[in-house]
Amino acid sequence: MRYLEERILLESLYQPTDMVKLRKEIGLHIKDTKAKIQKPSKTDLKIAKKQIPELNLVIGGTPDFYMEKFYKIWIQKYKDIHFIGFISEEKIPIYYSMGDIFVNYSYANEGFGLTPLEAIACGTPIICSSLIPYKEVLKDNAIFVHPQKPKLLAKEIINLLKDETKRKLMVEKAQLFIKRYTWDAVGKKLENTYKEFLEN
């Protein structure tokens, strides 16, 4: 049931949202601002900011027990990163929509890959690590970067942020792709699976 609940939520809650108000609230420039939500990677941010000084990194989420100590250190050390902390379910789509790109650069094993799908549903182009779950779920609707390659990640961030046409094309294409995860589409697949099971 959790899978179906997530698909319904993806269809009803995750929609493109106006970014201007939220950018004002957290102190980002309204124009020419590049914002993304991801796990911290200071190296790729430093490289990217050399070419795009107005680049902003926004990190949302509450750290677990193991990461809490490091999280507090990061807040003090990296003053140019916007640590938002807990984001309510209702506000998550706003943050997705706020970013010019969404970066999900994991290097460990991942599950279904729901987070990038949520960002796509909100009209935000994706850069993520080339882990098998992401590639299986996202197909060719994201830019994939090999894990733990910050220079390569920075290059892809810079290229995508400087290419507005490419971002728009990625979003347009992904909006067609995301329809396979609507309630109707998932319900039909589930119905067909049950029919096949009963017939065999």
- b (16+ CB within 10 A) / e for 82-119: bbeeebeeeebbbbbbbbbbbbbbbeeebeebbbbbbb
Q: Which CATH fold topology does 2-193 show?
A: Rossmann fold (3.40.50)
Domain boundaries, the chain: 2-193
Of 164 and 183, the one with more pLDDT: 164
Confidence at residue 31, expressed as pLDDT on a 0 to 100 scale: 36
Both tokens of 155, joined, read: 């290059």
**CA distance linking residue 119 with residue 13, whole number of Å:** 11
User: Could you tell me the pLDDT band of residue 163, with boundaries at 50, 70 and 90?
Assistant: very high
Confidence at residue 24, expressed as pLDDT on a 0 to 100 scale: 64
pLDDT at residue 160 greater than cutoff 60: yes
DSSP for residue 34: B
pLDDT at residue 27 greater than cutoff 80: no
pLDDT at residue 153 greater than cutoff 70: yes
* Mean pLDDT, rounded, of the chain: 77
